Structure 1
Amino acid sequence: MSETSFGLDPLMTAEEWMKSGRSVAIATVIETWGSAPRPAGSHLVVDGDGNFEGSVSGGCVEGAVIAEAMDVIGDGKAKMLEFGVADETAWRVGLSCGGRIRVFVERLA
């Protein structure tokens, strides 16, 4: 967790971090199907040191989104991520709730 207060609006956190000179990416749930842990419009902000605030899912999906956000901060290329039920190979993270989510990750300038 970041050093900001728990429960702070992730968008306010992003603004605060950017004002202090940090590189920041924001992940936004843009679409859900079926059962999903967080509704469309949920945000997760990540800085270049891996601090984060907010939530787009939870568990393994959250970790994967944070890792992707770090890549987006590094190269500036936005990404569209989709997560559904994990398959038996365990090579992909997934949602145990049976739903699917689509998350857009972009660097803030």
Structure 2
Amino acid sequence: MSTLAADNALILQQAADWLAAGKPVVLATVIGTWGSAPRPVGSLMAIAGDGAMAGSVSGGCIEGAVALQAEKVMQEGEPRLLSFGISNDMAWEVGLACGGKLEIYLEPVT
């Protein structure tokens, strides 16, 4: 089993545990990357209604923004597509080592 698959299995198990405990859960999935991206397509992050998180979609760069959008998905019950990106030139200007873009799909889990 690949590392990504093993990591995702653990994240999905955590999401299932949260659901079994009666907590709402949103699953965030990296569905596209362009340029430099810290996590590959297929990476998962689960967000529980109490703010707990498991997994990563960006290595820490945008998890907070994803968690905020996950709250809206929990409230509305509708999935969302998120896009994040910065040009390589801009990345160096602001002190970030990686540029690139990524798309993340958020969906409520029931």
Aligning the two structures, in what range does the TM-score lie when normalised by the shorter sequence? 0.7 to 0.9
Unpaired runs of 5+ in structure 1?
1-6, 89-94
CA displacement, residues 30-78 of structure 1 (integer Å, 9 cap, x when unaligned): 1111110100000010011111110000334111001101110111111
- Give matches, 1:14-53, under 5 Å: 14-53=15-54
- What TM-score comes out, normalization by structure 2 length? 0.80
Determine the structure 2 residue equivalent to 1:67. Answer: 68
Name the TM-score, length of structure 1 as normaliser: 0.80
Structure 1 segments (4+ residues) deviating >4 Å: none
CA gap 1:96/1:75 in 2 versus in 1, 3 angstroms: farther
The within-5 A match list for 1:73-92 is 73-85=74-86
Give aligned pairs, total: 97
Structure ranking higher in helix proportion: 2
Q: What is the percent sequence identity of the aligned residues?
A: 46
Flag structure 2 segments of 5+ consecutive residues without an equivalent: 1-6, 91-95
CA RMSD of superposed structures (Å): 2.1
